Structure 1
């Protein structure tokens, strides 16, 4: 679930301003600035660039009824400016299937600005995997350290627990669906799909439910269409993920737990997975090479 959203969105206005008649040295300055930000973690992104990206997202989202629901939820969860301005998000994500399938438990740090990630095993600090924004990598001594597809899993957790913020970028299509009732309350419903070429699984979709009064996320329905799992196309049956208690992480409301079920008539059916999200905090001032592929790591 590697979604490669552009990290240069805040610079689009700079590129457009250069125009055909701009002097060569100005164009070179803009190019240099773009190259500089592409190598930084979001903890070092200037606030002015955060402001530009947030303003661009707000304008785009407020242009449709579905987008207005997403924007209202972003605001209710602490604001896109906090999401991008706080630095990289670190947390432990413990995915516990109830059917005996492989659990997935790692400490991870995610650059929410440019969709890069680094995971470390909870039992062996030398076992790691990640995604640089361009390539996935794996660094292990024991071949059994991660008994699952680490390329797929590099960014999957942030797409399970990072809504609605992860829907700010290009290539995201939003559709407003009819309201539904969930746990006795009216919920606004938005379906998110992705343009072809957006990440490794563009056929994924998410159906997000928000409390109509508080605008907080209550549930997410989704499918997995990762081609390595479904080589002939298709996807798994839809899952219904309940959002647990939201906690304040440096001004951003994020879930400390999630529960997945098979979806039955738009509602949660058989309970199949528990997810525990803990030790959440934002980090600033990471080394510029923090998300780079380490020496002796294997490119996937």
Structure 2
């Protein structure tokens, strides 16, 4: 009788352990990084797997190694994804008085989804679901700019260098540059055809040689909706301003954008950008990045 009781207890324990392992496996199976789940629901094992793949790929080249060192210096790619979706205010202010672009936004760093809210009307929103651009606003003039283009544009600046871990990203080492009396490693970033809405965009990133921190970003805008026959705006030079460490990740407090001169130096000052209210979100509704009822699709 005692032998039977012990055997029964052991059987129950083994069954309980098996059920727990099955549940864990089912949760991880749902967290396919190629699909649309937000990073706040992604198991740590998926995050570590993505980080290890990114590290292996980046360290194969000199340019990639520079970028990996920069990721580490800015807080680490694992921390970037583990913190969950990123929220911040990005206030883009052209000095000539042209259209200001100012919104509170939350970005899913895992799958590049976005939701913006007007800073003057909390009921006005727009976003990107991963497939669809949308807007919901009672006043049709709530956003006087191309919201489809702008849905992910700010994260391509604020998310440097972490956004360079994915597919379709090409990295090239350029000659070192002296900037603000410091030597900088310089990496040019281009994109494969079909990557994003503007694959002809490029970025040239200045990383301080001694501490690997990002000091400046040169870039062009080649968005096809603006340049239907090809081409792009002249190259710009963006100074990275200030430091703000949030949950282990180092962010700037703003940027100053200039036209680039023929000598590849910052020229005419054209845009002031303030970055504030930076924090990571850990408790968003699962449908947070979905297109809300009553929103209209932006083509």
TM-score under structure 2 length normalisation:
0.89
Query: CA, structure 1 residues 271+36, in 2 after alignment: closer, same or farther (shift >3 Å)?
Result: closer
Structure-1 residue corresponding to 2:85 = 88
Secondary structure of residue in 2 paired with 1:156: coil
Q: What is the distance in 1 between the residues matched to 2:132 and 2:286? A: 17
Secondary structure of 2:154's aligned partner: helix
Partners of 1:31 and 1:55 in 2: how far apart?
Answer: 17
> 2:283 pairs with 273, 282, 285, which one?
285
Deviation per residue, 1:11-70 (Å, 9 max, x gap): xxxxxxxxxxxxxxxxxx899636698342111110010000000000000000000000
Give the equivalent residue in structure 1 for 2:39: 42
1:121-136 aligned within 5 A: 121-136=118-133
* Unaligned residue ranges in structure 2 (runs of 5+): 1-25
Residues of 1 paired with 2:161 and 2:188: CA distance? 12
Per the alignment, residue 15 of structure 1 pairs with: none
Structure 1 residues 219, 70: CA separation in 2 closer, same or farther (over 3 Å shift)? same
Instruction: Flag the structure with larger Rg.
Output: 2
Aligned Cα root-mean-square deviation (Å): 1.5
Q: Counterpart in 2 of 1:201?
A: 198
* Residue ranges of structure 1 left out of the alignment (5+ in a row): 1-28
Q: Greater CA deviation, 29-38 or 164-173?
A: 29-38
* Alignment match of 1:117 (pick from 110, 114, 119): 114
Structure 1 position 190 matched with structure 2 position 169: no
The match for 1:147 is 144
Secondary structure class of the residue paired with 1:177: strand
1:159-206 deviation line (CA, Å, top 9, x unaligned): 022100111100000000000000000000000000000011000000
Tell me, in whole angstroms, the C-alpha distance in 1 between the residues paired with 2:113 and 2:96.
30
2:224 to 196, 220, 227: 227
Inter-partner Cα distance in structure 2 for 1:153 and 1:93: 11
CA distance in 1, matches of 2:114, 2:27: 27
1:199-278, aligned counterparts within 5 Å?
Answer: 199-264=196-261, 265-278=263-276
Aligned to 1:173: 170
- Matched residue SS, 1:280: strand
